């Protein structure tokens, strides 16, 4: 369950009203429209009441970006919230905000378009102002360069007659009043339609496009609605987003599409609004030939996120379809949809905008509601710090990692001798002297020579180059091994241990292998997991009596311990009530058992102990598990515990395994992750929250070399030294920053 990373890897646009503008990976926003009169994880109850925002400056339209959102106010001012590290909030700062902040020096705005990390505004009169990241020239001010950014609006060069704007992740486009289209920014995939340069830092005319009334921008493609409701697209068509044109790159008509009144473009798909309010989509998830979306009628506007799309209907309601892992469809679930599903409780919207994994609506009342991922505060509800997600999130501020280890609600990583941790910190388990949670990785104090790490429920340890071991965090059972039961927020030395060659950590106990081959343990020992035959805690290293060969890996559970010998035979000791020792000796008893070999197990390459179960990976890539299976953690469909090893169904080619509290995961060659067991917080990575008694496909991550699992989250280490995590983020344990998720509309706070 909480073993050393080594053990883990060895162990580890304007919409139907006029012209459509898009936000980040092609996220259409709406023009100005005249106004009229805690962690909610998947499947939770109704949305919060919508505020009646009849203040002096209500919102009239909304736009969404990668992880930020902006509202256009009746005065022509703009408020933004969410991710701001590249200046995309436009308030002069480079920081996130879960509450709206005012874009400085900006007024008389009539339309917004947001990219992944940049924002643009169309000002009455036809000029365009942009702010945020300018690394690919997407601000259009002529100054794009790697790392460039502006936290305040800057003027796009040579544009004074713009009728509509759109933004992809790293490029921006405008429809001029003449009907021509001009784009700037990233052109590596010909999304600007000019093949002569990879980057344009000021607007360039898109050749071959005229009579445009609307433009939308995806990640690697751009489309325009032209006369007769026909659609022209250009860029990369690898997912079919250009229609049946392949990767034509140069602008051309999408076959079979005409009579559309509005467009929306996502990361790899495009949708068109038909006469009568139906919707056609093509590209990723749909194929290269346009298909009609079931469940949509009476639509008047479209907006597309990274992999989801929403339609606003004439009565102010909305229906969404596509990816729903973060609740971005607003139907109260986290289930993906091919047919459109109604957004719960939304019936008075005047503007709709989809971001990467969130969606927002401006209401007739002047308020704004949002739902989906709250990464960096994108929902604007003032809440930060909680999230449940079943897709992999990259840990911030972390590179060059060689080892990972997960505790219940936190994870640590080893990089160049330093240890960095993130997640829950109330017990000092982050080791930085604080007792607060943290959503990004930071250094453990005083450790620069670590060669291995291990994490328990609320404590962690590092083996130093010298052989000494230092631990930090909770210590109520002596699991830090310093001779006390006092919690430590910074590392303390394990008493008398100077020659350790391997370490492992269980729920509330820790073990080490010494150069002599001796195994010593300390911490909670009431079940014999620390010292065979003894049922008491130990605050200092205590010798485990037993016949050990050369031990190459330790993996510890809640009340049992296991060691993998160099001859590939696992030995286990401690409680065997659920058969977690894999040996008939003492089955059903709750007191300490002698060190026993796991019976009838083929030679193992890696072991992974969960709370009350154990798994092993053998040389042919099969995985076997034994012990408790109340939550399906044996992966073989059983509903009763098994002392005998059982083969995880259809598991072949595994290269790494990990055991969490009541789940387990395996990575196979090619990067596909499979998980089984309890999935209540998304820890299985299958975009669901159910118990799975057989393996289900989780995220696909290229180059996985290690896995690590906590109570309700899982992490993977890649060959490039990057770490990705999925599952519960209530304590920031995914490391992707603070944020909560809502599957139904939630009001944005502090909109005037």
pLDDT at 49: 28
pLDDT at 333: 81
Q: Minimal CA–CA distance to 554: which of 499, 506, 494, 485? A: 506
Distance between alpha carbon 278 and the CA centroid of its chain, in Å? 32
Q: What is the pLDDT of residues 191-219, one digit of tens each?
A: 998 778 889 999 999 999 999 999 999 99
pLDDT at 320: 97
pLDDT at 256: 87
Mean pLDDT, residues 488-510: 98
Q: Which residues contact 422 (CB under 8 A, 6 or more apart)?
A: 395, 410, 411, 430, 438, 439, 440, 441, 442, 732, 733, 735
Question: Is residue 346 over pLDDT 70?
Answer: yes
Mean pLDDT, residues 275-288: 93
pLDDT confidence tier of residue 337, bands split at 50, 70 and 90: very high
pLDDT at 327: 87
pLDDT at 248: 63
pLDDT confidence tier of residue 588, bands split at 50, 70 and 90: low
Question: Highest mean pLDDT range out of 43-52, 331-340, 497-506, 600-609?
Answer: 497-506
Q: What is the pLDDT of residues 534-576, one digit of tens each?
A: 889 999 999 999 889 899 999 999 999 999 999 999 999 999 9
pLDDT confidence tier of residue 297, bands split at 50, 70 and 90: very high
pLDDT confidence tier of residue 747, bands split at 50, 70 and 90: confident
Mean pLDDT, residues 341-353: 94
pLDDT at 244: 79
What's the full length of the chain, in residues?
752
Q: What is the pLDDT of residues 370-404, one digit of tens each?
A: 998 888 889 887 765 444 456 676 776 677 899 99
Q: What is the pLDDT of residues 140-180, one digit of tens each?
A: 999 877 668 999 999 999 999 999 999 999 999 999 999 99
pLDDT at 127: 97
- Do 384 and 736 form a contact (C-beta atoms < 8 A)? no
Question: Is residue 240 over pLDDT 80?
Answer: yes
CA dihedral 387, 350, 52, 326 (to 10 degrees): -10
pLDDT at 220: 92
Mean pLDDT, residues 474-486: 97
C-alpha–C-alpha distance, residues 719 and 543, integer Å: 36
For residue 166, CA distances in Å to 181, 214, 458 come to: 11, 9, 47
pTM, to two decimals:
0.55
Q: Considering the domain 21-377+743-747 in this protein, what is its CATH number?
A: 2.130.10.30
Q: What is the pLDDT of residues 434-464, one digit of tens each?
A: 998 887 888 999 999 999 999 999 999 999 9
pLDDT at 161: 97
pLDDT at 409: 94
Three-state secondary structure call for residue 228: helix
pLDDT at 381: 76
pLDDT at 743: 59
Tell me the DSSP string of 150-209: EEEEEEPTT---EEEEEE-SSEEEEEETTS-EEEEEE-TTSTTS-TT-SEEEEEEEPTT-
CATH class (in words) of the domain with range 391-736:
mainly beta
pLDDT confidence tier of residue 752, bands split at 50, 70 and 90: very low
With a pLDDT cut of 90, the percent of the chain lying above it is: 71
Question: Is residue 740 over pLDDT 80?
Answer: no
Question: Is residue 101 over pLDDT 50?
Answer: yes
pLDDT at 422: 92
Mean pLDDT, residues 179-198: 91
Every domain of the chain with CATH number 2.130.10.30 lies at 21-377+743-747, 391-736
Other C-beta atoms lying within 10 Å of the C-beta of residue 214: 28
Q: What is the mean pLDDT of the chain?
A: 87
Question: Is residue 23 over pLDDT 80?
Answer: no
- Strands 450-455 and 358-363, by their bridges, are unpaired
Question: Is residue 751 over pLDDT 60?
Answer: no
């Amino acid at each position: 369950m909480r073993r050393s990373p080594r053990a883990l890897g060895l162990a580890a646009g304007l919409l139907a009203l006029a012209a459509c503008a898009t936000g980040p990976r092609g996220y259409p926003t709406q023009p100005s429209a005249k106004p009229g009169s805690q962690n909610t994880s998947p499947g939770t109850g109704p949305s919060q009441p919508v505020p009646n925002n009849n203040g002096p400056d209500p919102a009239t339209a909304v736009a969404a970006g990668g992880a930020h959102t902006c509202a256009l106010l009746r005065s022509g001012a703009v408020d933004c919230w969410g991710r701001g590290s590249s200046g995309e909030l436009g308030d002069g700062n480079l920081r996130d905000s879960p509450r709206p902040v005012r874009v400085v020096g900006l007024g008389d705005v009539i339309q917004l378009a947001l990219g992944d990390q940049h924002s643009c505004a169309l000002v009455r009169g036809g000029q365009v102002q942009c702010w945020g990241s300018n690394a690919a020239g997407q601000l259009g001010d002529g100054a794009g360069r790697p790392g460039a950014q502006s936290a305040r609006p800057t003027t796009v060069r040579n544009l004074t007659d713009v009728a509509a704007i759109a933004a992809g992740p790293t490029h921006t486009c405008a429809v001029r009043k003449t009907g021509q289209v001009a784009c700037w920014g990233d052109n590596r995939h010909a999304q600007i339609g000019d093949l002569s340069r990879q980057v344009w830092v000021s607007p360039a005319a898109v050749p071959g496009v005229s009579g445009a009334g609307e433009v939308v921008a995806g990640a690697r493609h751009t489309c325009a609605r032209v006369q007769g409701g026909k659609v022209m697209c250009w860029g990369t068509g690898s997912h079919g987003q250009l229609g049946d044109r392949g990767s034509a790159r140069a602008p051309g008509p999408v076959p079979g599409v005409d009579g559309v009144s509005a467009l929306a473009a996502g990361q790899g798909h495009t949708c068109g609004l038909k006469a009568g309010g139906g919707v056609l989509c093509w590209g990723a998830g749909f194929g290269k030939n346009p298909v009609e979306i079931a469940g949509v009628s009476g639509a008047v506007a479209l907006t597309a996120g990274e992999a989801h799309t929403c339609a606003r209907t004439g009565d102010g309601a909305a229906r969404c379809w596509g990816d729903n892992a973060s609740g971005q469809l607003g139907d109260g679930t986290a289930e993906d949809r091919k047919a459109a599903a109604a957004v719960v409780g939304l019936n008075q919207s005047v503007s709709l905008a989809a971001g990467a994994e969130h969606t927002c609506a401006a209401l007739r009342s002047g308020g704004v509601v949002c739902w989906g991922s709250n990464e960096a505060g994108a929902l604007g509800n003032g809440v930060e710090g909680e999230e449940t997600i079943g897709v992999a999130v990259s840990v911030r501020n972390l590179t060059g990692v060689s080892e990972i280890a997960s505790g219940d609600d936190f994870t640590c990583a080893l990089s160049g001798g330093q240890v960095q941790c993130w997640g829950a910190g109330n017990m000092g388990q982050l080791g930085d002297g604080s007792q607060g949670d943290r959503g990004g990785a930071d250094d453990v104090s005083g450790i620069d020579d670590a060669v291995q790490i291990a994490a328990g429920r609320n404590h962690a340890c590092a083996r130093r180059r010298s052989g000494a071991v230092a631990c930090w965090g909770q210590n109520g059972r002596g699991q830090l091994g310093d001779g006390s039961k006092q919690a430590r927020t910074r590392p303390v030395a394990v008493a008398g241990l100077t020659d350790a060659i391997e370490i492992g950590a269980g729920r509330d106990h820790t073990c080490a292998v010494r150069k002599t081959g001796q195994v010593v343990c300390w911490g909670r020992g009431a079940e014999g997991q620390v010292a065979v035959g003894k049922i008491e805690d130990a605050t200092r290293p205590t010798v485990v009596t037993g016949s050990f060969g050369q031990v190459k890996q330790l993996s510890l559970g809640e009340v049992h311990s296991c060691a993998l010998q160099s001859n590939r035979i696992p030995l286990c000791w401690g409680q065997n009530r659920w058969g977690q020792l894999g040996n008939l000796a003492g089955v059903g008893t709750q007191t300490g058992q002698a060190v026993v070999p796991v019976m009838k197990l083929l030679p193992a390459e890696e072991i992974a102990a969960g709370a009350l179960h154990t798994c092993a990976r053998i040389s042919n890539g099969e995985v076997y598990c034994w012990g408790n299976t109340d939550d399906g953690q044996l992966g073989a469909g059983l509903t009763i515990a098994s002392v005998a090893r059982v083969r995880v169904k259809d598991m072949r080619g595994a290269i790494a395994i990990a055991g969490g509290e009541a789940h387990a995961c395996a990575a196979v060659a090619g990067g596909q992750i499979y998980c089984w067991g309890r999935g209540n917080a998304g820890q299985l990575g299958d975009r669901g929250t159910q118990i799975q008694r057989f393996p289900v496909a989780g995220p696909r991550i290229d180059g996985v070399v290690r896995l690590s699992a906590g109570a309700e989250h899982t992490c993977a280490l890649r060959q490039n030294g990057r770490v990705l995590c999925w599952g519960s983020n209530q304590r920031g344990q995914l490391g992707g920053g603070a944020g909560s998720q809502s599957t139904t509309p939630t009001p944005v706070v502090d909109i005037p």
